[in-house]
Structure 1
Amino acid sequence: MEKWKINLISVWFGCFFTGLAISQILPFLPLYVAQLGVTSHEALSLWSGLTFSITFLVSAIVSPMWGSLADRKGRKLMLLRASAGMAVAILLQAFASNVWQLFLLRGLMGLTSGYIPNAMALVASQVPRDRSGWALSTLSTAQISGVIAGPLLGGFMADHLGLRTVFLVTAGLLMVSFTVTLLLIHEGARPAQTKSERLSGKAVFASLPYPKLIISLFVTTMVIQLCNGSVGPILALFIKNMAPDSNNIAFMSGLIAAVPGISALISAPRLGRLGDRIGTSRILVATLAAAAVLFFAMSFVTSPVQLAVLRFLLGFADGAMLPAVQTLLVRNVSEQVTGRIFGYNQSFMYLGNVVGPLMGAGVSAMAGYRWVFIATALVVLVNLWHLGRTLKQQKAASKTI
């Protein structure tokens, strides 16, 4: 079997365990904050938001640095650093005795993050260009699978073994990622770079044939994550508003939150392969347009079943969007700066994770739950218009060369 195929299979399992590890903690973080002694509703909301956001904020700041280091020292080293570093940070969270310790350790977790973007960059640098869409889409199913299974496993452990046990098991899963990476992933020797050969951030963008397109793709990544996050803070409340007499709101909310992942698993490799044949940019534009229409439709639902159906349909688009962005990045940058570009892209992804929930909470407070879906759809439409213009300019410029 070719080396890149072996690496793809190995990295898939590493990304699966990483996605599983991270997602099984997040739904229960507010409960852990309460267990650490935060009792009032206002303080609990504040500390839950801070401990959630600090990880993504720190990750957004340091991602370009890790990307630069990956280009110089190798991506396997960055995968080992991220899996081991996050395992230690999460292990220590199990022994936090107050909320300040948890907050600082969540910040440390953000500092050590970066397994999945480095895995994407590793695969992108090795896979044949004409199969990059399929390979990156297939790899994305690993994280999606982990994100679906994580809350179920975490919820079972939290109910039967206690919240601290979730952190201990999560650290163990990340060490499984470390072991898979250490033993199974092989990266060829990288040419040494002298200090004078290392590109500055300005030089990285100067080396790109279409820098405007790359920046537009970064913003698209942020918008995709914003879409995923904007509904999160209000989903359970919106469902309760539609079905006030239901006695299983928590289960229903979890199910409706998870259904896009199921359809994304189905669509990601298929649309990735289709993009390799007909053009990845067409897939990206089509899925963004479909997402905008579905978010508008969600603002008119009158029952949880209708919302579940629309979110299931949204998952088909969701599974293709981020892999399509990453494929276009691969095809428009040189291998010398792939790690840096993926690092910048990851920063925008983390910013979307921060901005999305803040936008959703703010819009729902000012205008009501339904307006969150409308606002999200409008953001997607503005981004779609800008991306479409940029892609046309890039196509026109490539014809004149």
Structure 2
Amino acid sequence: MPLLWLGQVVNTTGLMMLVPIMPFYVQQLGVDGTVAVQSWAGVAIAAPALALTVATPLWGKVGDRVGRKWMVVRALIGLALAMTIMAIATGPVMLIAGRLLQGTLGGVVEAAAAFAGATGPRGKRGSALGKSFSATATGSLIGPIAGGALIGSSALAVLMLSIAVLATVAAIACALGLREPAEEVPNTDGREKDGRSPSAFRWRDVPHARPLAAAAAAAYFGIYGLIPIFAERVQTLEPDRAGPWVGTLQAITWGAALCSSAWWGRRNDRWGRPVSTFGVAAAGCAIAVVAQALVSDPIALIPLRLLQGLCFAALAQSLFLYVGNHAPADRRSGIVGSANSFLLAGQSAGPLLAGPFLALLNVTVVIGVMGLACGIAAALALRSSRLTESRLGKTAEAIHSHQARGRTAGGRLRLREGTR
């Protein structure tokens, strides 16, 4: 697991180092004008997620066949190639090409989540996923700090090439050192309890799949849609030091996510209600995002970014835990990949639409829209959780009633035998 953790850190550092400062970076590549900068930045931020939306389910199916270890190795090699292209980019088109490649061949987080979700007993999967996502938070903490500190200097390209080298080394280490997790023993008849073959299991067979898909997309739409306009928001509050402030605040967000990831995982194991966890966390994100439109000082953003990071840490791992618990062992990578594709759809759409929204509305209203999206995600997830609990309650009541009838019938039988 240390190798897996390290691979995720390297991958996420490369993925996130430009994200919070992307508007400033595309300006450095020669783009002028607020709307043009925000639009190019939105496309560049969304590009990896857009490619991953299509590629993740495919890579998940491949991982179920060839092994999850090799999906981690593949993603790290893809990161090395993408970072090299981005380091030598001379314009926004080449930058976006590198980001698209990063998404198409990437997916360390998804591969690692499937890997972690297959390790350990069922009651400890939440903790394993929590530790896995702490690596994502670590990379997302390191990346913005490094990117924000080096924006505007040639050292930024050197850092990208260094990450490419680290990714290559990590890929070799994972290829040699990782071992495939032992899978659960399948049913002896090769069928689930409802008679369906595990190979026929699809995303739609997960309970409440549709509302959860919408909740996943809406939550990530709001969170990632905030990123390109957050730089604009900070610039209105602190024009002279916007770059360092954006990097610092983004790092604060991911620092909170790092500190809370494992806690959410343990909570999911103890509580056993990951959908409810998702809903509560999405509600917290909604509050934090909306409040960021109302403050008048960058210092006031610090507690809000802490809250956002704390709640964001629960989203993906809770969704992956829920769908992983409902998927057959030999279909888990594919089902987790399908769940992740909905997160990625929101992650793509948010930044892509942020620029056009900003051209039509002021930044305060657009931030409110992103907060509303997180609120919708919370409502959908909490409703799904209540329906699940209601169904379980009815099932438990039916079992209790059946047992009570059995005890009553047994008592009557013993009474008749006694009178004889």
Question: Is 1:308 matched with 2:302?
Answer: yes
Following superposition, the deviation at residue 290 of structure 1 comes to 2.3
Equivalent in the alignment of 1:172 = 165
Distance 1:384 1:168, change over 3 A: same
Q: Which amino acid aligns with 1:237?
A: E
Equivalent in the alignment of 1:22 = 15
Equivalent in the alignment of 1:258 = 251
Q: Which amino acid aligns with 2:324?
A: V
Equivalent in the alignment of 1:84 = 77
The 8 Å contact of residues 47 and 100 in structure 2, kept in 1 or not, is answered as yes
Q: 1:224 aligns with which of 219, 227, 231?
A: 219
Q: Which amino acid aligns with 1:203?
A: A
Equivalent in the alignment of 1:194 = none
Which digits, 9 at most, give the CA deviation of each residue in 1:248-280, with x for residues without a partner? 222222222222212222222112212211233
Equivalent in the alignment of 1:204 = 201
Q: How does 1:239-388 map to 2 (within 5 A)?
A: 239-243=234-238, 247-281=240-274, 282-388=276-382
Q: How does 1:141-180 map to 2 (within 5 A)?
A: 141-156=134-149, 161-180=154-173
Q: Provide the C-alpha distance between the structure 1 equivalents of 2:27 and 2:299, rounded to a whole number of angstroms.
A: 32
Look up the SS of the partner of 2:294 in the other structure.
coil
Q: Provide the C-alpha distance between the structure 1 equivalents of 2:353 and 2:96, rounded to a whole number of angstroms.
A: 22
Following superposition, the deviation at residue 223 of structure 1 comes to 2.5
TM-score w.r.t. structure 2 length?
0.80
Q: Provide the C-alpha distance between the structure 1 equivalents of 2:71 and 2:172, rounded to a whole number of angstroms.
A: 14
Look up the SS of the partner of 1:231 in the other structure.
helix
Look up the SS of the partner of 1:266 in the other structure.
helix
Following superposition, the deviation at residue 358 of structure 1 comes to 3.4
The 8 Å contact of residues 254 and 309 in structure 2, kept in 1 or not, is answered as yes
Deviates more, 1:59-68 or 1:306-315: 306-315
Query: Identity of aligned pairs, percent?
Result: 26
TM-score w.r.t. structure 1 length?
0.84
Equivalent in the alignment of 1:234 = 229
Following superposition, the deviation at residue 66 of structure 1 comes to 0.6
Q: Provide the C-alpha distance between the structure 2 equivalents of 1:368 and 1:99, rounded to a whole number of angstroms.
A: 25
The 8 Å contact of residues 28 and 152 in structure 2, kept in 1 or not, is answered as no
The 8 Å contact of residues 364 and 370 in structure 1, kept in 2 or not, is answered as no
Which digits, 9 at most, give the CA deviation of each residue in 1:321-354, with x for residues without a partner? 2211221122222112111112112222221222
Q: 1:140 aligns with which of 106, 115, 133?
A: 133
Following superposition, the deviation at residue 49 of structure 1 comes to 4.0
Distance 1:173 1:316, change over 3 A: same
Following superposition, the deviation at residue 147 of structure 1 comes to 0.9
Deviates more, 1:58-67 or 1:349-358: 349-358
The 8 Å contact of residues 272 and 280 in structure 1, kept in 2 or not, is answered as no
Equivalent in the alignment of 2:4 = 11
Following superposition, the deviation at residue 164 of structure 1 comes to 3.0
Q: Which amino acid aligns with 1:70?
A: G
Which digits, 9 at most, give the CA deviation of each residue in 1:290-329, with x for residues without a partner? 2223333333323222222222122221222221122112
The 8 Å contact of residues 87 and 157 in structure 2, kept in 1 or not, is answered as yes
Q: Which amino acid aligns with 2:326?
A: N
Look up the SS of the partner of 2:111 in the other structure.
helix
Aligned pair count reads 384
Gaps of at least 5 residues in structure 2 are 185-189, 191-195, 400-420
Following superposition, the deviation at residue 180 of structure 1 comes to 3.1
CA RMSD in angstroms, aligned pairs only: 3.1
Which digits, 9 at most, give the CA deviation of each residue in 1:123-156, with x for residues without a partner? 1012211111111111111111111111222445
The 8 Å contact of residues 24 and 151 in structure 1, kept in 2 or not, is answered as yes
Look up the SS of the partner of 2:106 in the other structure.
coil
Q: Provide the C-alpha distance between the structure 2 equivalents of 1:26 and 1:350, rounded to a whole number of angstroms.
A: 15
Deviates more, 1:319-328 or 1:70-79: 319-328
Equivalent in the alignment of 2:102 = 109
Look up the SS of the partner of 2:296 in the other structure.
coil
Q: Provide the C-alpha distance between the structure 2 equivalents of 1:33 and 1:206, rounded to a whole number of angstroms.
A: 38
Q: Provide the C-alpha distance between the structure 1 equivalents of 2:355 and 2:26, rounded to a whole number of angstroms.
A: 20
Following superposition, the deviation at residue 388 of structure 1 comes to 2.3
Q: Provide the C-alpha distance between the structure 1 equivalents of 2:36 and 2:230, rounded to a whole number of angstroms.
A: 21
Which digits, 9 at most, give the CA deviation of each residue in 1:23-63, with x for residues without a partner? 22445656665666656776655544444433322221111
Q: Provide the C-alpha distance between the structure 1 equivalents of 2:198 and 2:352, rounded to a whole number of angstroms.
A: 29
Following superposition, the deviation at residue 219 of structure 1 comes to 2.8
Look up the SS of the partner of 1:81 in the other structure.
helix
- Please identify the structure whose Cα radius of gyration is greater: 2
Q: Provide the C-alpha distance between the structure 1 equivalents of 2:43 and 2:197, rounded to a whole number of angstroms.
A: 32
Q: Provide the C-alpha distance between the structure 2 equivalents of 1:374 and 1:207, rounded to a whole number of angstroms.
A: 32
The 8 Å contact of residues 257 and 309 in structure 2, kept in 1 or not, is answered as yes
The 8 Å contact of residues 74 and 190 in structure 1, kept in 2 or not, is answered as no
The 8 Å contact of residues 224 and 322 in structure 1, kept in 2 or not, is answered as no
